[in-house]
C-alpha cells in the first residue's frame, strides 16, 4: 500500500510536464544564464580573497644571534657546534613563513597578508579573516627545540572571524600545515639530513592542502540553483497533497481504512525520491555540459542524502500545515516567499558570506545555506569532517520539521 502511494505520486508528477519543466529545465537555464553572465563579470571565477594580519612580536635576528652565541660558547665539540649553528642559520621560521610560504604564487592568488609589529585594534582586526600573533621569544624557543633544549615550540595564536567560512578554513590550513613543518625540520636535524631535501616534499604538502579547487561561476550557481530548486520539489508535492484534500481524494483514502500517517509517509518518501532524482539529473547535466564535477562521489552522496531528508521533511510539514489550516495559501506562501528568502539567505544568488557578520552566519546555517556551503566545500575537496557543522544544521532542520509535522498531525483527533 505504501509502495502504491509512492508510485502514484511519482506517476502524477511524471505526467505533469509543466512541473517537470519548472523543476528540471528552469534551474538548468538559470545556471546557464547566471553562470555565463556572472562568470564573465568575475573573469570566469569567483575569487577567494582571504585576508590575514600577522602581528610579529618576536625578534628573530636578535634571538638567532643570542642562540648562536650560546652554542658557540657551549661545551659541545666543534663538529656539533658547527652543525647546530649551520641549521640555525639556514632556518628562520618567521621569515620563512612571511617571505616564502605565504608569498608562494599559489597562495598569493587567494591569500593576502599584512604584517604588523605592534598589536592591532579590534576595529582593525575586523578587516581580516584571521589575525595571527607570533609571540615574543618564539624564534629563540624554536631554536632551543631544535637543539633539544626544549620539547615543544610555543604555538602561534590564530584568531579567525568565523571558523566555518571558506576564507578562515584556508588560513587555518596554511598555518597548521606550516606548523607541521617544524616537526620535519627537527627530524631532519636529528637524523642529520639536509632539510632542503625535505622541504620540497613538505612544501608540496602545504600546497596540496591550501590549493583547494577553485569555485567557478558555473559550479557556484550549479550548487546555488540546485539547492534552491530542490525546495520547490517539496512545495510541488505539498501542492499535490492539498489538491487531494480539496478534491476529497484524501477522504476516500481515509475511508479505505488507511491511516493518515501512511498518506504523509508517501508524501515524505515521494519528495525524498523526487529530490534525489532531480539533484542527480541537474548535477549530472552541469557535469556533462559545464564540467562541474565533485571530486568525491561519496561525499556528494552524503550531502545529497542529508538535503533530500530535509526537503522531504519540508514537504511533509508544508502539507500538514495546509491540511490543518485547510488553506492553499500555506503552500503559496512557502513557494513564493519563504523559499526565495531562504535561497537568498542561503547564498543561492550570491555569496552572502562575503558580507560577513550575521548575514554570513545566516547564510551558512540557514536550511539552504548549510547545503550550499556543504556542497561548495566538498566541491573544493574538503572532507566530511570539514562539513560536519553544516550536516548537523541540516539534520537539526530535518528533525524540527518532522517533529512539527507529527505535532500538527496529533493536534486534533479524527480525519485531518
Give the binding site for other proteins (CB under 8 A): 1, 4, 8, 11-12, 15-16, 247-249, 251-258, 413-415
For the bound state, the minimum distance from the C-beta of residue 13 to other proteins, rounded and expressed in Å, comes to: 9
For the bound state, the minimum distance from the C-beta of residue 6 to other proteins, rounded and expressed in Å, comes to: 11
- Residue 20 or 125: the one with the smaller Cβ distance to other proteins is 20
- Cα–Cα distance list, 116 to 125, 334, 345, 416 (Å): 11, 50, 35, 66
3-state secondary structure string across the chain: CHHHHHHHHHHHHHCCHHHHHHHHHHHHHHHHHHHHHHHHHCCCECCCCEEEEEEECCCHHHHHHHHHHHHHCCCCCHHHHHHHHHHHHHCCHHHHHHHHHCCCHHHHHHEEEEEECCCCCHHHHCCCCEEEEECCCHHHHHHHHHCCCCCCCCCCEEEECCCCCHHHHHHHHHHHHHHHHHHHHHHHHHCCCCHHHHHHHHHHHHHHHHCCCCCEHHHHHHHHHHHHHHHHHHHHHHHHHHHHHHCCHHHHHHHCCCCHHHHHHHHHHHHHHHHHHHHHHHHHHHHHHHCCCCCCHHHHHHHHHHHHHHHHHHHHHHHHHHHHHCCCHHHHHHHHHHHHHHHHHCCCCCCHHHHCHHHHHHHHHCHHHHHHHHHHHHHHCCCCHHHHHHHHHHHHHHHHHHHHHHHHHHCCCCCC
Angle at 2 between CA 264 and CA 260, to 5 degrees: 35
For the bound state, the minimum distance from the C-beta of residue 411 to other proteins, rounded and expressed in Å, comes to: 14
For the bound state, the minimum distance from the C-beta of residue 316 to other proteins, rounded and expressed in Å, comes to: 20
Radius of gyration in angstroms for the set of CA atoms belonging to the chain, rounded to a whole number:
28
- Residue 4 or 329: the one with the smaller Cβ distance to other proteins is 4
Residues 6+ apart with CB under 8 A from 414: none
For the bound state, the minimum distance from the C-beta of residue 225 to other proteins, rounded and expressed in Å, comes to: 27
For the bound state, the minimum distance from the C-beta of residue 248 to other proteins, rounded and expressed in Å, comes to: 4
The HSE-up count of residue 124 (CA atoms within 13 Å, CB side) is 12
- Residue 236 or 373: the one with the smaller Cβ distance to other proteins is 236
- Chain centroid to Cα 346, Å, comes to 12
- Residue 112 or 260: the one with the smaller Cβ distance to other proteins is 260
- Residue 3 or 105: the one with the smaller Cβ distance to other proteins is 3
- Residue 268 or 294: the one with the smaller Cβ distance to other proteins is 268
For the bound state, the minimum distance from the C-beta of residue 232 to other proteins, rounded and expressed in Å, comes to: 19
For the bound state, the minimum distance from the C-beta of residue 234 to other proteins, rounded and expressed in Å, comes to: 19
- Residue 256 or 358: the one with the smaller Cβ distance to other proteins is 256
For the bound state, the minimum distance from the C-beta of residue 3 to other proteins, rounded and expressed in Å, comes to: 9
Angle at 213 between CA 210 and CA 217, to 5 degrees: 135
For the bound state, the minimum distance from the C-beta of residue 26 to other proteins, rounded and expressed in Å, comes to: 20
Distance CA 353, CA 343 (A): 13
- Residue 157 or 251: the one with the smaller Cβ distance to other proteins is 251
- Residue 191 or 256: the one with the smaller Cβ distance to other proteins is 256
For the bound state, the minimum distance from the C-beta of residue 4 to other proteins, rounded and expressed in Å, comes to: 4
- Residue 24 or 38: the one with the smaller Cβ distance to other proteins is 24
- Residue 22 or 302: the one with the smaller Cβ distance to other proteins is 22
Amino acid at each position: 500500500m505504501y509502495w502504491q502511494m509512492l508510485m502514484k505520486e511519482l506517476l502524477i508528477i511524471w505526467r505533469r510536464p509543466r512541473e517537470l519543466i519548472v523543476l528540471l529545465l528552469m534551474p538548468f537555464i538559470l545556471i546557464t544564464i547566471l553562470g555565463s553572465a556572472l562568470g564573465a563579470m568575475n573573469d570566469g571565477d569567483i575569487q577567494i580573497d582571504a585576508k590575514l594580519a600577522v602581528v610579529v612580536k618576536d625578534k628573530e635576528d636578535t634571538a638567532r644571534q643570542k642562540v648562536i652565541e650560546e652554542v658557540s660558547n657551549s661545551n659541545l665539540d666543534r663538529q656539533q657546534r658547527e652543525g647546530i649553528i649551520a641549521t640555525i642559520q639556514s632556518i628562520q621560521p618567521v621569515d620563512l613563513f612571511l617571505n616564502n610560504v605565504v608569498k608562494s604564487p599559489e597562495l598569493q592568488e587567494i591569500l593576502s597578508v599584512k604584517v604588523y609589529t605592534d598589536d592591532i585594534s579590534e576595529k582593525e582586526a575586523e578587516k581580516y579573516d584571521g589575525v595571527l600573533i607570533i609571540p615574543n621569544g618564539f624564534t629563540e624557543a624554536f631554536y632551543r627545540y631544535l637543539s633539544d633544549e626544549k620539547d615543544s615550540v610555543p604555538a602561534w595564536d590564530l584568531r579567525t572571524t568565523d571558523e566555518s567560512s571558506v576564507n578562515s578554513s584556508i588560513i587555518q590550513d596554511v598555518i597548521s600545515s606550516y606548523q607541521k613543518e617544524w616537526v620535519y625540520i627537527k627530524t631532519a636535524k636529528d637524523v642529520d639530513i639536509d632539510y632542503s631535501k625535505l622541504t620540497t616534499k613538505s612544501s608540496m604538502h602545504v600546497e596540496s592542502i591550501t590549493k583547494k579547487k577553485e569555485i567557478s561561476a558555473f559550479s557556484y550557481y550549479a550548487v546555488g540553483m540546485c539547492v534552491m530548486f530542490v525546495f520547490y520539489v517539496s512545495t510541488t508535492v505539498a501542492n499535490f497533497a492539498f489538491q487531494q484534500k480539496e478534491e476529497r481524494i484524501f477522504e476516500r483514502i481515509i475511508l479505505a481504512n488507511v491511516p493518515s500517517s501512511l498518506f504523509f509517509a508517501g508524501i515524505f518518501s515521494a519528495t525524498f525520491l523526487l529530490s534525489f532524482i532531480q539533484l542527480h539529473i541537474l548535477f549530472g547535466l552541469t557535469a556533462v555540459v559545464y564540467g562541474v564535477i565533485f571530486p568525491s562521489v561519496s561525499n556528494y552522496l552524503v550531502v545529497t542524502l542529508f538535503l533530500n531528508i530535509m526537503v522531504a521533511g519540508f514537504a511533509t510539514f508544508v502539507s500538514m500545515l495546509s491540511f490543518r489550516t485547510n488553506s492553499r495559501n500555506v503552500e503559496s506562501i512557502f513557494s513564493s516567499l519563504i523559499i526565495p528568502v531562504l535561497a537568498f539567505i542561503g547564498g543561492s544568488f550570491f555569496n552572502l558570506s562575503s558580507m560577513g557578520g550575521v548575514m554570513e552566519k545566516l547564510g551558512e546555517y540557514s536550511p539552504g545555506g548549510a547545503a550550499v556551503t556543504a556542497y561548495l566545500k566538498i566541491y573544493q575537496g574538503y572532507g566530511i569532517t570539514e562539513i560536519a557543522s553544516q550536516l548537523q544544521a541540516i539534520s537539526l532542520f530535518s528533525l524540527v520539521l518532522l517533529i512539527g509535522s507529527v505535532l500538527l498531525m496529533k493536534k486534533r483527533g479524527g480525519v485531518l
